[in-house]
């Protein structure tokens, strides 16, 4: 196992990962979402199939992220709801099988990093900003070098053409427009 000091560097007094291209480790990462349901609770879901690369540049602001998510892998622990999410009312899986995120800029510092990028859902691309936290770096027992990040953002799903809803008799709607996206990423340095 590697000494973590050899896996990070200090830039402007802040610990950051060494430059390189890191591939998401799907078995140790999650791409999830949270949405209000019936105005009284929050429902969580995630995608089990996704891939992506994180390119950490020598100059942190030049770093890049590209992620592709398989819509068919949506899992909310309710097969009927998952089927509805895959239908034309929401993701329209047959026509739009993937969700993508491609970064356009990285900025910040002092533990307050942001990644701007283009998020494409349901064939609609909109700019979003991910709030990013670098969690650290470590070596694994197999000689690999790993980094970890947490990221989150909130979107209005209707901006992406996901407008289905139903009114409640007591006021409000079945599904809120606001969706929180949460990402826990562990990535391995490519050899």
CATH of the domain at 137: 2.40.128.110
Domain hosting 109: range is 4-189
Please name the residues in contact with 112: beta carbons below 8 A apart, sequence gap of 6 or more: none
pLDDT for residue 72: 98
pLDDT for position 69: 98
The total domain count for the chain is 1
CA pair distance 77, 187, nearest whole angstrom: 26
| Residues 18, 9 contacting (CB under 8 angstroms) | yes
Residue 177: its pLDDT value, please? 77
Cβ neighbours, 10 Å, residue 133: 12
Q: What is the pLDDT of residue 5?
A: 54
- Report the chain (191 residues): mean pLDDT per 10 consecutive residues: 66 89 97 77 91 95 97 95 91 97 93 94 97 93 92 93 63 69 96 67
């Amino acid at each position: 196992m590697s000494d973590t000091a050899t896996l990070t560097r200090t830039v402007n007094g802040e610990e950051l990962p060494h430059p390189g291209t890191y591939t998401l480790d799907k078995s140790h990462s999650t791409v999830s979402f949270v949405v209000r349901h019936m105005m009284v609770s929050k429902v969580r879901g995630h995608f089990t199939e996704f891939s992506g690369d994180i390119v950490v540049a020598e100059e942190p602001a030049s770093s890049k992220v590209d992620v592709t998510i398989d819509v068919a892998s949506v899992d909310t622990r309710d097969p009927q709801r998952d089927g509805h999410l895959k239908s034309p009312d929401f993701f329209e899986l047959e026509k739009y099988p993937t969700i993508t995120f491609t970064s356009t800029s990285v900025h910040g510092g002092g533990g307050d990093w942001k990644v701007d990028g283009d998020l494409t859902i349901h064939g609609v691309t909109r700019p979003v900003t991910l709030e990013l936290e670098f969690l650290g770096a470590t070596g694994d027992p197999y000689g690999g070098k790993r980094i970890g990040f947490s990221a989150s953002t909130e979107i209005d799903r209707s901006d992406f053409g996901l407008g289905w809803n139903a009114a409640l008799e007591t006021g409000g709607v079945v599904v809120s427009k606001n969706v929180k996206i949460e990402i826990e990423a562990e990535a391995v340095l490519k050899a």
